[in-house]
Structure formats: structure tokens, C-alpha cells
């Protein structure tokens, strides 16, 4: 149907997350139709990011500098460290712009099923950050899954003698949710952790 180059591009685009062949075709056609206004700026932005992107040597965030803008910010609290699974979670926390401490990206969670052991994660650099002193609180903001919870427990037992206060995000009913639509686990959790008004 279309040229080989176009087919190849469609195939590459279709393998990106949340896309399939049909949406990839639509996207590529859109790029072809708007070469000057969409395709060329996109290529330029991709080139810039690909040339400038660094993984922060301290926290694991992606940025155009290393240390990243969060780690090198003087406005942020060096004594609180928020431990997240992934850069996506770091960005999600930053979108709320409530947290003013710093981060540590684990790069995954422990998983018996997928064979992820502590050595596969970014835990040694975390231990070094903690032992080098200055950190007072470790917020474990890991996913509310079994693996996430196991990882939280592993980290909390590993660092329990470090003198650092270890906390996790509160769990319960999310804002705007109808009880009717909540799963039993969440309801049980919310009931067990109920608070006095």
C-alpha cells in the first residue's frame, strides 16, 4: 500500500505504549499531511531530548542535567526523601506540587513472580544516601499492590535501624469515589484505618 519507509514508521509507532496499528496509521498520516507544522517540530524536539537527556546520578529522574532540577534545587528540603517506583510516579507527585522534599527512583519493585530481587533495584544508592546522613524521613510512595507493599516492608526493615523515620502514603477511599464501586480490599483497608472526625 504505502511506501516501505512509511510502513516501517507505522510499525515503530504502533509499538509505543497505548498505541496500536490503527492509531499508529492515523498518527503517521497526520504527520505526513502536516509535515511542516507537526512532523518537523516533532523530529526537532525528539532530537533535542535524545541529545540532552540525562538520568540523574542522585535520584534517577530524567532531566537535561544531572543532578536533575529537583536534586539541585536549593528551595527543596534535603531531609525528606520520597521513594517512588518509577520516573512516571515522580512526575505524578510533582504535578501535585505539594511535596517539597527530594526523590529516589527505585526503578521497579521486588517481585517473586518476575524474579526481581533487591540487587535489581536502585536500593544500594538509597542506602548510601541514607548513611551519608542528613535525611530525617523516608516516604515510601510505592504502588498499593502486593509487590509494592512487599517492597515497602523490605525497605522499612532494611532501614529501621538507620534512625530515619519511615512513612508511607495513606491508603483508603480515593476522592470522589462511590463506595459501591470500591473493591473489598480497599473498603476493608479504609475501615481498618478509620479516623476520628
The distance of closest approach from Cβ of residue 129 to its own copies in the complex, given in angstroms and rounded to an integer, is: 21
- Which residues have a Cβ under 8 Å from the Cβ of 171 and sit 6 or more positions away? 144, 186, 189, 190, 193
Q: Which of 52, 55, 46 is nearest to 13 (CA)?
A: 46
The distance of closest approach from Cβ of residue 26 to its own copies in the complex, given in angstroms and rounded to an integer, is: 5
The distance of closest approach from Cβ of residue 171 to its own copies in the complex, given in angstroms and rounded to an integer, is: 23
d(CA 142, CA 171): 11
DSSP state of 107: S
The distance of closest approach from Cβ of residue 38 to its own copies in the complex, given in angstroms and rounded to an integer, is: 8
Report whether 53 contacts 64 (CB < 8 A): yes
Taking the least distance from each CB to its own copies, the nearer of 27 and 166 is 27
Taking the least distance from each CB to its own copies, the nearer of 83 and 90 is 90
The distance of closest approach from Cβ of residue 181 to its own copies in the complex, given in angstroms and rounded to an integer, is: 21
The distance of closest approach from Cβ of residue 177 to its own copies in the complex, given in angstroms and rounded to an integer, is: 19
Chain centroid to Cα 59, Å, comes to: 11
d(CA 84, CA 21): 32
Taking the least distance from each CB to its own copies, the nearer of 14 and 171 is 14
Q: Which of 178, 71, 181, 73 is nearest to 129 (CA)?
A: 71
Taking the least distance from each CB to its own copies, the nearer of 60 and 148 is 60
Binding interface with its own copies (CB under 8 A): 1-6, 8-9, 12-13, 15-19, 23, 25-33, 35, 38-43, 45-50, 52-53, 61-65, 68-70, 86-88, 90-91, 94-95
d(CA 108, CA 72): 24
d(CA 122, CA 65): 19
Please name the helix (run of DSSP H) or strand (run of DSSP E) that holds residue 82, with its range, or none.
Answer: strand 80-84
Taking the least distance from each CB to its own copies, the nearer of 62 and 154 is 62
Taking the least distance from each CB to its own copies, the nearer of 29 and 191 is 29
Amino acid at each position: 500500500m504505502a511506501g516501505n519507509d512509511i510502513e516501517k514508521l507505522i510499525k515503530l509507532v504502533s509499538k509505543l505504549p497505548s498505541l496500536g496499528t490503527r492509531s499508529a496509521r492515523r498518527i503517521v498520516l497526520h504527520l505526513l499531511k502536516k509535515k511542516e507544522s507537526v512532523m518537523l517540530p516533532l523530529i526537532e524536539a525528539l532530537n533535542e531530548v535524545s541529545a540532552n537527556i540525562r538520568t540523574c546520578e542522585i535520584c534517577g529522574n530524567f532531566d537535561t542535567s544531572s543532578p536533575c532540577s529537583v536534586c539541585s534545587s536549593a528551595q527543596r528540603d534535603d531531609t525528606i526523601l520520597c521513594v517512588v517506583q518509577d520516573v512516571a510516579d515522580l512526575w505524578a507527585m510533582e504535578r501535585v506540587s505539594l511535596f517539597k522534599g527530594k526523590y529516589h527512583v527505585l526503578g521497579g519493585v521486588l517481585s517473586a513472580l518476575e524474579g526481581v530481587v533487591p540487587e535489581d533495584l536502585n536500593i544500594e544508592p538509597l542506602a548510601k544516601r541514607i548513611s551519608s546522613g542528613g535525611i530525617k524521613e523516608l516516604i515510601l510512595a510505592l504502588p498499593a499492590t502486593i509487590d509494592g507493599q512487599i517492597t515497602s516492608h523490605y525497605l522499612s526493615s532494611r532501614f529501621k535501624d538507620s534512625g530515619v523515620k519511615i512513612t508511607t502514603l495513606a491508603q483508603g477511599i480515593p476522592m470522589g469515589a462511590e463506595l459501591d464501586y470500591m473493591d473489598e480490599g480497599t473498603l476493608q483497608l479504609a475501615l481498618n484505618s478509620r479516623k476520628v472526625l
